[in-house]
Amino acid sequence: MLVYIWQYVYTTFLRYWFKWLIRQATGTCELQRICSGYGPGASRTINTEYSLKSSKSKLLRGAVESSEEHLGQHVQQIMKEKNIKEQTNPRFKESLHTSLLQITGYESLYASVEDVRKEAFCPENTQHEAMLLELWELLMPSVTLESRVTKQWGDIGFQGDDPKTDFRGMGVLGLTNLLFFSEHYTQEARLVLSHANHPKLGYSYAIVGINLTEMAYSLLKSGALKAHFYNTVPGAPKLQHFHQLYCYLAFEFDKFWLAEEPESIMLFNQYRDKFHHVVRTLLENPRVSLTLSAPS
C-alpha cells in the first residue's frame, strides 16, 4: 500500500520537481540526459519511452504513437519545444529518432504479428498449401510425401493425417515460424527434428513448435520482448525479427528438454513453464539479446 502511495506521489509531484531542479542545475532536459548518458540499446530506449510517456506535454506523449514516416517531424518539434540546438547537441537528434523508431516499431510489429496469427490456415489457399509442402521438403529431403493427407505428417510432429487442424489459435503464424526455422537454419532444424524423434526423449516437433510460437506471441504481446528488440534491431523491428526469436526459442527449448531428460512427453507443459521462466529471467536483463548461437 505504502509503495503505491509513494509511487503516486513520486510520479505526480516529486518527479516533476526533481526534473526541474536538475534542469536548472545542468541546463539539460531529461531526454538530453538520457540520450547522452546511454549508448544505443535497451537502456536508452526504455528510459526514453518512460520519459516521453510520463511527460506533461501532449507533443511528447504523442510521439510514441506517431507513425514511422512522421517521426522525423516529431523529433524536430520536440527539439523546438525543449529548446535543444542541433549544433550544440549533434547526437541528440539521431538518438531520439532511433529510439522512437524502436518504440513505435514494437507496437506495429505486434499489429503485423497479430494479422498473421488471425489468418487461419486454409487448404483452399494455394500459398498456404505450398508453404506446408515446402516445410516437408526442407525437413525431410529424402522422403517423398505420398499424398496430401497421410500419416507421414506424424514424422515431423503433426498430430494426425492432416496438419490443417493443428494450427488453431496460432493460424498461419505457427506455419510461418516453422518454415522460417527450416529455411534459414536448415541444419539446426533437422538436428532439432532428429532429437524430437528420439524414441525415449522425443516430442512432437511441429506441435511443440506451434506451442513455442504461442510463447513468442504472448511474450511480444506482454511487452516482454522490448529490451531484446531494442538491443538487437537498430530501428523498427519487422516480422523477420520475430521469426528469428522463434528460431532461438525452438533451438533453445530442444537443448533445455534434452538436458532436463523429462520422464515422458506427458510432462511437456511443466517443462514448457520452466523454460518460459528461464526466458523471462533472461529478458529482464537490460542487455538481453536472444540470438540463436548454433554450434559450428
Partner 1 sequence: MGLLSILRKLKSTPDQEVRILLLGLDNGGKTTLLKQLASEDISHITPTQGFNIKSVQSQGFKLNVWDIGGQRKIRPYWRNYFENTDVLIYVIDSADRKRFEETGQELAELLDEEKLSGVPVLIFANKQDLLTAAPASEIAEGLNLHTIRDRIWQIQSCSALTGEGIQDGMNWVCKSVNSKKK
Interacting residue ranges for partner 1, rule: CB under 8 A: 154, 159-160, 165-166, 168-170, 174, 203-204, 207-208, 210-211, 213-214, 217-218, 264-270, 272
CA distance 105 to 232: 13
Least CB distance from residue 114 to partner 1, whole Å? 11
In this structure, the number of other CB atoms found within 10 A of the CB of residue 238 comes to 15
Q: Which is nearer to partner 1, 40 or 262 (CB)?
A: 262
Residue with smaller CB distance to partner 1, 72 or 123: 123
> Judged by CB, which is closer to partner 1: 41, or 171?
171
Distance of closest approach, residue 174 Cβ to partner 1, in angstroms: 8
User: Is 68 or 273 the residue whose CB approaches partner 1 more closely?
Assistant: 273
CB of 122 to partner 1, least distance (A): 15
Decide if 108 contacts 239 (C-beta within 8 A).
Answer: no
Least distance between partner 1 and beta carbon 169 (Å): 4
For the chain, the distance separating the N- and C-terminal CA atoms, rounded to the nearest angstrom, is 53
One-letter identity of residue 34: I
- Shortest separation between residue 186's beta carbon and partner 1, angstroms: 24
By C-beta, is 41 or 157 nearer to partner 1?
157
Work out how close the CB of 220 gets to partner 1 at its nearest, in angstroms, rounded to a whole number: 12
Separation CA 192–CA 185 (nearest Å): 11
CB of 226 to partner 1, least distance (A): 20
Supply the minimum distance, in Å, between the C-beta of residue 198 and partner 1.
13
| Nearer of residues 103 and 156 to partner 1, judged by Cβ | 156
- Our CB check for partner 1 shows the closer of 64 and 212 to be 212
Query: In angstroms, rounded to a whole number, what is the distance separating the alpha carbons of residues 85 and 92?
Result: 9
Toward partner 1, which CB reaches closer, 185 or 205?
205
Distances (CA, A) of 171 to 88, 115, 200, 236: 51, 10, 30, 24
